[in-house]
Structures are given as C-alpha cells and as structure tokens.
Amino acid sequence: MQFKRVVVTGLGAITPLGNSVTDYWNNLVGGVSGAAPITRFDASKFKTRFACEVKDFNPEDYFDRKQARQLDPFCHYGIVASMQAVQDAGINKENVNPDRVGVIWGSGIGGLKTFQDEVLNFGKGDGTPRFNPFFIPKMIADICSGHISIMFGFRGPNYTTVSACASSTNALIDSLNYIRLGKADVIVSGGSEAAVNESGIGGFNAMHALSTRNESPQNASRPFDLDRDGFVLGEGGCCIILEELEHAKKRGAKIYAELVGGGMSADANHITAPHPEGLGARNVMRLSLEDAGMTTADIDYINVHGTSTPLGDVAETKAILGVFGEDAYRLNISSSKSMTGHLLGAAGAIEATACILAIQNDLVPPTINHFTDDPALDPKLNFTFGKAQKRVVRAALSNTFGFGGHNASVIFKKFVD
C-alpha cells in the first residue's frame, strides 16, 4: 500500500532551557547550560546536588489550584507543552474530526514524586492506610495522555509508551505509523518526565549513573569529553503535532518538517550498559534509514543520545561509524544533553524538536563542555563542539537508548511538496 505522508505542524516545550519552543531553541543554539544546584529539595546529603530543573514554572498559571494539586509535575509539563503545540498548530473543533485525533505520549517513569510522597507519608504514620484518592491517577505513567485527550476532546488512539529513555521516540514512531496507515489524521505526541526529587537523584546515584561534579554544575554534562563522569538529570515536557500531509494542507497549516521514518531495536545485552560495540544502536539506525527509504548520504545531522557516560558515548560513536562509514565524517553530530541534561522519557521528544528546528533553520546546535579529547573517539568526527554551526540540514536523525536495551531512532527531513 502507499503510505500517507506525515508532517510536523505544531511544537510545544517546557524545558530546563526555557518554557517555550523559542526560548528552548535560542538557548540551545546559544550553548546555554540548564544545570544548577537543586532547588526542589535539600540535596546536601546526596552525592549529586545539582540537576537541570525546569525554572520559573508555576502550574497555577495554567490550572486552578485544585486541579494543579491533582496532577503530578510530569503531567503539568506535558499538558502545558501540549497546550502550546495545539495552539501553534492552529487546531480547533472546526478544522479537525476529534474522532481521528489521537494522543500518544511517552514517559519512562511517570509520577515518581507522587509515589514517593504518598509512601513517605504512609511510613510516617501508625500503619493506618491514609492515601490521597488521587494517588493512583496522579502516579500512573499513562495518565498524561488521558488528561490531554480530555482537555481537547480528542477521541482517537490514546496511550503511553514506556521504554525508559526511548519512550517518547517510541511514541513518535507509533504516531507516524497510525497516520501513514490512515488510522488517524492528527496525533498529539511527545513526552514528559519529572524525576528531579529525592527518589530520582538517590536512585540514579546508587547506580553511579549521575555526574558528581558538584563544584561546577554547568560544566558537568560533557558528552564525548575524556573526563565525563555521568549524566545530569533533567525534567520537562515536549509536544509535537504530527499530521497527515493532505489534511494539514487542506486546513492551511504551517509545516515545520516531515517525519519520514523510525526504527526500534533491542541490545539484548545488559539492563543498564549499552552493547560495547553499539550493536543495537547500529541496528536501529539502519532500520530507520530503511523505513525512511534513505541512505547514509541523505543525512546531514545526528542528534545523538550522548548522555555523557563513559561507556555510552563510545558505543554510540562506534555504531555511527559502523552504519555511516565514510559518510560519518561529513555529518554534524551533537548532544543536546550537554545543555538540557537527560530528560529520560521526554528526551526523545525534546531532541526530535532540536532536529526539526535544525532542519528549519539550517543550524546545528552545539555540544558544549568539551575540554579534553578522548582518544577512544575518532578525532575526524564533527561533534559540533563549542558553537552552533550553519549548514544546510536536509535530514536529521535522532537517537534514544533506554535502560533495558531499548533503542529507538527517528528521521525528519525538509518538507518538499
């Protein structure tokens, strides 16, 4: 069958770099770090005392006080990002059929703060069960997609993908497939996460996954640097409106880019460590190219998973060289996580947005915090260190890899009618 084409018609973002798409993009290309000492709780006894928090965000600016208290922060971020994106896309009850508009969201953890707080409160008591009636609806990972559909009255496919740090990329791939198979006209997709709390920091510290560079938080996330020592935890939400091309044209929507393919694979290797040779990462990039009907020569930019971990950055680089060969040396490669930190289940959506905007603006965001070359990495690769680089970006690939060995990649390209 002939697949329908899928385009991006709206964007929304709540991030450590700003609470709008414009602020996020300007700070991203400006090389601004979102890392700072933690303000959410007293982190003085933790090994890591900093994170990339969302700043200047008050949920009561968007929800009444009662409603705000009935939502976990991961829903605050996701719902507000979706409000921005739906408005940006110009979607309303008159120009869409709500039965054919879906919401497919991604979150790796969901309402971690809610779960933590409820269990702590119970532990402080005498054993009598006293739980908030909103405990379960606030905590479950799928609830954000439900809230978004209820808010807008969208009655199409509705669920949440959970694949750790690949979650929102999986959501985008599922959305792509629903639309190109003709099962929906529009999908509100993306992801949100809010794990900057005692459980999130403590849990990742126990795994030795986080940077402990407490003396210089803004320089802590340093992908591909010799002295990288772990990732920086981030939080936020991002929404991407995906739409069938003819439907978008009929209602006169602006088009940012076209989503042309996606791939999924498993490392089948280890619960947290990547395959040492990047086997799963190789497979997922190959599958993405195959799904898009493209070759390595068609890609100009890769927004890498690039978490700033000793093993992960090397494995991903090996995978890129294994797939792209000589074409790897004409690519721009960069890691948004050097600035945003790692948004876990929301990482795929916010990094896909970086790809979309790089294509639209012909500008590649940088990888910041590079101080010392790593001899394990090929020095001929262009990691876009230090400053954004102007170039024509015909197509961009975004990689996301999650604990459990989950790999997902998507490819966007310039829209040409």
**Sequence letter at residue 49:** R
DSSP for residue 197 = S
Among 147, 275, 342, 370, the active-site one is 342
What is the three-class DSSP state of 392?
coil
* Strands of 50-125, DSSP E: 50-51, 101-106
What is the three-class DSSP state of 112?
helix
Among 144, 165, 239, 355, the active-site one is 165
**Sequence letter at residue 316:** E
Q: Give a three-class secondary structure readout of 164-182.
A: CECHHHHHHHHHHHHHHCC
- Residues with Cβ within 8 Å of residue 126, at least 6 apart in sequence: none
Widest CA span of the chain, in angstroms? 66
275 is catalytic: no
Distance CA 17, CA 56 (A): 11
Distance CA 53, CA 341 (A): 9
* Strands of 146-256, DSSP E: 158-161, 186-193, 236-244
The secondary element (H helix, E strand) that includes residue 340 is: helix 337-340
The residue among 171, 166, 192 whose CA lies nearest residue 71 is 192
Token pair for 117: 């707080």
Distance CA 230, CA 270 (A): 18
342 is catalytic: yes
- Measured from the Cβ of residue 87, the count of other Cβ atoms closer than 10 Å reads 12
Among 147, 305, 370, 406, the active-site one is 305
Are 343 and 164 in contact, with CB atoms under 8 Å apart?
A: no
The secondary element (H helix, E strand) that includes residue 410 is: strand 406-413
Burial class (CB in 10 A: 0-12, 13-18, 19+), 95: middle
- Measured from the Cβ of residue 128, the count of other Cβ atoms closer than 10 Å reads 6
CA distances in angstroms from 369 to 171, 236, 340, 391, listed in the order given: 30, 22, 12, 22
The residue among 309, 255, 319 whose CA lies nearest residue 287 is 319
165 is catalytic: yes
Which residues are part of the catalytic machinery? 165, 305, 342
